Chain A
Amino acid sequence: MLRLEKLVKTYKTGDQALKAVNLEIPEGQVLALIGPSGAGKSTLIRCINRLVEPTSGNVYLGDVELTGLSAGMLRKERRRMGMIFQEYALVERLSVMENVLSGRLGYVGFWRSFLRRFPQSDVDEAFRLLDRVGLAHMADKRADELSGGQRQRVGICRALIQNPALLLVDEPTASLDPKTSRQIMRLICELCKERGLAAIINIHDVALAQMFVQRVIGLRFGEMVYDGPPDGLTPDKLTEIYGEEDWEATIEAVDEDDLEAESAAS
């Protein structure tokens, strides 16, 4: 479904953010990308939808190779990849509804979008999505009136209304408190399951990642150093990814968290 082949990104400053990354993601798989700051997590997902131009290598979304596409074709393919951002990246001076509908920009023409005349089906879908994340009553509020968790939910709606096959999620919980972080992660994973979406979730909170995903990729200095199930992340492995630290506490915390989460769900 998504395949990266020898993806390399070298910045103008000479920093090698990605060193020949190979990765294949099957349909419907949610995977977490972990690694220290500066490991190239953010660069990796931005290279997929070419917000950052990769230096070399190939990206296949289904059968389409993305790195060689013209600007127009790239825009078409971007519609199939929803993106969720760290600081929500909502357009703060637009209303919640406009922010959600902006996910349809790849589908409607300029004048229609400029005059805010979106097709009725888009509007209906926007209301359904907002209702799904519990924000339908906020539709006409301005985005900067919302709390962090609410904004991120709007961000999720904006990504989903694109009707994507793949979600690119960049540190969705970095600016949220622990409880909201979990709610957001759970929501993203639930929605992926409901819609059969594949997702790459950049996340620095290892415990949170282990709680929700089937597969974890560890990135260090632009190289993949771990690829496996979340429970395979032993202290040795974490040391390899992040460097020396006492990891026992993190792993125990995960177990407790899991119990807590289960009890909360039941």
Chain B
Amino acid sequence: MSDAAFDVAGRIGQPWKKPPFIQRRWLRWTLLLGALAYLIAAYMTIEVNWSRVYEGLERGKKFVLAFANPDFTTRSSDIFEGMMESIIMTVASSVVGIAISIPIALGAARNVAPLPVYLICRGIIAISRALQEIIVAILLVAIFGFGPLAGFLTLSFATIGFLSKLLAEDIESMDKVQAEAIKASGARWTQWINYGVQPQVMPRLIGLSMYRLDINFRESAILGLVGAGGIGATLNTAFDRYEYDTAAAILLIIIVIVMGLEYLSGVIRARVQ
């Protein structure tokens, strides 16, 4: 059974080393030294004012303690209004974003849409994904003025890029045979989408929508920083005034709502799948 081609006697007494992950020696060392050089350079160029950091530890401690004793009452009306605005923006933008994403997702799936439509829809998705929420919000605030409308538009726009891309991928990977069977029955295009495609991608659409709702809420919390409405403005004020207990209260509310949304989306996803 033993393999004659391999000289075992020659290997006995020889040290064994694990074959390296990167075979080429020069490449291995170049990457290693490069990474090391980068880390040193990066570390050198970060200016850390250690005495300031040290002073900050005291404030940090105060903040951690504030979490144990958050203040919901002093600015309760500000918090309530900001939270409501965040939630309203989240719900409205999710609804509109999802409604617009569905046709765009269909257009961005190569097995459903013709090439020109496909290219246009993919272009829209690419633009929406490349631009971050906060930058879009800045521009929209400049154009539409302060207020939740800018935030609503920002989140709707971001939802389109996220949802259309993932949904289009799902449509592209769907089971061809089921869709063909519907087509074979002489259905027109809309009927074909309704009967052949929709049932297959529906669970995923619902799951993704819930996930996006969750993301939209989290994002809505920062849009206020640039004047686009929501709880972010209240939070920013709290930090500016060093009112850590109010800030802690707001953060706790955000965490609880996100946890609640995650739990809800888990339940809903389990039901539709």
A contact residues vs B (CB 8 Å cutoff)? 95, 97-98, 116, 118, 120, 123-124, 126-128, 130-137, 139-140
Contacts and interface: CB of A to CB of B under 8 A. Distances in A.
Contacts of B12: 124, 127-128
Given A95-B19, A116-B18, A124 B2 contact: no
Contact-residue bracket for chain B: 10 to 19
- Dominant SS among interface residues on chain B: loop
Interface centre among B5, B11, B13 (most CB of A within 10 A): B11
Given A130-B8, A136-B2, 14 more contacts: A95-B19, A98-B18, A118-B16, A120-B15, A124-B12, A127-B8, A127-B11, A127-B16, A128-B8, A131-B2, A131-B8, A134-B1, A136-B8, A140-B19
Instruction: Give the secondary structure class of A's interface.
Output: helix
A124 B18 CA distance: 15
Interface string B9-33: 0011111111100000000000000
17 contacts: A95-B18, A97-B16, A97-B18, A98-B18, A116-B17, A123-B14, A124-B13, A127-B12, A127-B16, A128-B12, A131-B3, A134-B3, A136-B2, A136-B3, A137-B3, A137-B5, A140-B19
A135 B16 CA distance: 16
B54 interface: no
B50 interface: no
B18 A132 contact: no
Contacts of B1: 133-134
Contacts of B6: 131, 136-137
Contacts of A118: 16
B14 to A, nearest CB: 8
A128 B16 CA distance: 13
A131 B12 CA distance: 11
A132 B60 CA distance: 64
Contacts of B5: 137
A123 B15 CA distance: 7
A243 B3 CA distance: 45
Contact of B2 (A95, A120, A126, A134): A134
Q: Which of A95, A131, A135 counts the most chain B CB atoms within 10 A?
A: A131
Contacts of A131: 2-3, 6, 8
Contacts of A128: 8, 12
B15 to A, nearest CB: 7
Nearest to A153: B1
A126 B14 CA distance: 12
A6 to B, nearest CB: 42
A140 B11 CA distance: 13
